[in-house]
Amino acid sequence: MTPTRIILVALGIAALVAAPLGQGNYIVYTLTSWLLFSIAAMGLNLTLGYAGQVSLAQAAFMGIGAYVTALMTLAGLPWIAAALVSVAASFVVGLLLGYPALRVQHHFLAFVTLAFNILLFLVLRNEEEVTGGSFGLVGMPRPSVLGISTDSNLNFYYFALACFLFAAFVMWWILRSPWGRAFKALRENPIRAESLGLKIRRQTLLAFAIGSAFGGLAGALMPPLVQFIEPGSFALIHSLKLLLMVVVGGAGFFFGPMLGAALVILLPELLRFTEGYYLIIYALLVIVLMVFSPNGLIGLGQKIWLGFRPKQEERRDMKKGFQL
């Protein structure tokens, strides 16, 4: 990282620490849920932006994390143990789902995950004895760290921020390790990556499973935040919403999912004056964005920025020569 980058990141973290100070409960809550969805979207970005596979079950993985955490903390176990089990469970389910789906070409993972999300929703709704059915589960306790309780919303925000920064660091570390660079190679040119000795299937599968584990972590933060979970929060539409976050922000960019999550969570507030037309405007914006800039907002920004920079002139005689 260049020094300017380090300064910018430090400033960003300082802004996140200062953001909720002096704000009302509602804004603190919204900021916390932004952190939470950013974690989930970051995971999906690994699957989508780096490994190039569409997963339509990120909300289902959040659901696995949320229900595992809720049931375990309600049984009196500490949050950290529940969160670890949630992450592990999402990882394992990701492996099991991805293994058969990634044997074949096309977007079979998209189909399998789509089916999985609906199946999970049905199970959560129908197995009332365990999951509480459509009434959901209530009264999950909030964790306390080093004796400080996170019962106040501000404290819980800082708790979620710590989790978010941890997740972001892990993601950054994965992406810059040689192993993470292989993901990029895979996305840019899978055939070349394979000829250089990368095991494409194993890499993609791991990317999907790790991405799902991030969903599990985000889910584990949900019961203590909302203190009420129900199957409807993990339906297919929410997976589509997470997918939108990643793509609108910019798939394959590190900060894309965070920007996208902010937009998807804040836009309803900004467009509130349009009342019922909110979703229509939203869908139109997404279509227009996709037509003009498939790389999302960060891609659009990059395009505009590069437009102002001097470009290297290609040698035209060579160009002609290649054509001949």
Q: List interacting residues with other proteins (CB under 8 A).
A: 48, 52, 54, 100-108, 110-112, 114-116, 118-119, 122, 125-126, 190-191, 194, 200-201, 240, 243-244, 247, 251, 276-277, 279-280, 282-284, 286-287, 290-291, 294
Compare residues 77 and 281 and give the one whose CB is closer to other proteins: 281
The least CB distance from residue 315 to other proteins, in Å, is 25
Return the SS3 of 196: coil
| Four-point Cα dihedral 48, 168, 66, 59, nearest 10 | -20
The least CB distance from residue 68 to other proteins, in Å, is 21
The least CB distance from residue 180 to other proteins, in Å, is 20
The least CB distance from residue 108 to other proteins, in Å, is 6
Compare residues 124 and 265 and give the one whose CB is closer to other proteins: 124
Compare residues 13 and 122 and give the one whose CB is closer to other proteins: 122
What one-character-per-residue DSSP string does 248-272 give? HH-TTSTTHHHHHHHHHHHHHHHGG
Distance between CA atoms of 36 and 177, rounded to whole angstroms? 25
Compare residues 52 and 143 and give the one whose CB is closer to other proteins: 52
Distance between CA atoms of 104 and 111, rounded to whole angstroms? 12
CB 56 within 8 Å of CB 236: yes
What are the φ and ψ backbone dihedral angles of 75, each rounded to 5 degrees? -80, 0
CB 91 within 8 Å of CB 83: no
Number of neighbouring beta carbons within 10 Å of residue 265: 18
The least CB distance from residue 73 to other proteins, in Å, is 28
Distance between CA atoms of 10 and 165, rounded to whole angstroms? 12
Compare residues 178 and 276 and give the one whose CB is closer to other proteins: 276
Compare residues 28 and 251 and give the one whose CB is closer to other proteins: 251
The least CB distance from residue 80 to other proteins, in Å, is 34
